[in-house]
Amino acid sequence: MSDIVPSIIEIKPYLNQSIVLSDVISIKLVVPSSHILVPYALEKINAGFPSPAQDYIDKALDMNEHLIKNETATFIVKVASLSMLNAGIDIDDELIVDRSLDAKHGDIVVALIDNDFTVKRLMIDESGQWLKAENPEYKNIYLADGQELIIWGVVTHIIKMTRH
């Protein structure tokens, strides 16, 4: 439990401010308290033409180990907009965000600009850093003079409900 405290303290200043969460509905710390083993198939499945069924199970997969690399720096963020639709991110999808990773060009990130959280693709070029929306109906974000971009974390996985 004491390993979790630094992460809570670190984000507490942001959560106590009157922040408008335009692209983010909620932020929750991940506390993997259970180990659920899910069967892991040996064969990959075609997404196109069906192939003969394979009944081979290779091993059991612990979803916590598979999705979370640094539990004290990992959060679940719930999405509130369609700005990343073409990246497969929809409203109410949950993103697994790792704050311990250094963001690279092309990463999908949770960023803080002017007390506002947003989810965008980080672009780094000769002019500096900017945030790309993955939906043509939304504008890219280019920083104006005096604006500060804080990369809050890197999105590592998207959790999406496929059955409604």
Residues 6+ apart with CB under 8 A from 157: 67, 95, 96
State whether 48 and 110 are in the same domain: no
Same domain, 58 and 116: no
Q: Which of 44, 120, 127, 132 is catalytic?
A: 120
Going across the sheet that includes 149-159, the strands are 24-29, 74-79, 94-98, 149-159, 108-113, 116-125, 128-132, 141-142
Count of residues making up the chain:
164
Q: Is 9 in a helix, a strand, or coil?
A: helix
Shared-domain flag, residues 155 and 137:
yes
**71 CB burial (10 A radius; 0-12, 13-18, 19+):** middle
Question: How many structural domains comprise the chain?
Answer: 2
Are both 21 and 53 inside the same structural domain?
Answer: no
DSSP strands (E only) in the chain: 24-29, 37-41, 57-62, 74-79, 94-98, 108-113, 116-125, 128-132, 141-142, 149-159
- Catalytic pick among 83, 100, 104, 132: 83
> For tokens 């401010």, what's the residue?
17
Q: What is the pLDDT of residue 69?
A: 86
pLDDT per residue rounded down to tens, the chain (164 residues): 334 444 443 444 544 444 444 777 667 666 666 666 566 555 566 666 655 555 555 666 677 777 888 888 888 888 989 999 999 999 999 999 999 999 999 999 999 998 889 999 999 999 899 999 999 999 999 999 889 899 999 999 999 988 87
Q: Are residues 54 and 108 in the same domain?
A: no
pLDDT value of position 53: 52
Judgement on whether residues 46 and 94 belong to the same structural domain of the protein: no
Q: What is the residue range of 44's domain?
A: 37-66
31 and 100 housed in the same domain = yes
Q: Is residue 164 part of a domain?
A: no
Is 107 inside a domain boundary? yes
In this structure, is residue 132 part of a structural domain?
yes
Same domain for 98 and 125, yes or no, is yes
CA dist 100 and 69 (Å) reads: 9
120 annotated active-site: yes
Same domain for 121 and 41? no
Regarding whether 105 and 56 lie in a shared domain, the answer is no
pTM of the full predicted structure? 0.72
Q: Is 28 a catalytic residue?
A: no
Give the CATH number of the domain where residue 109 resides: 2.10.109.10
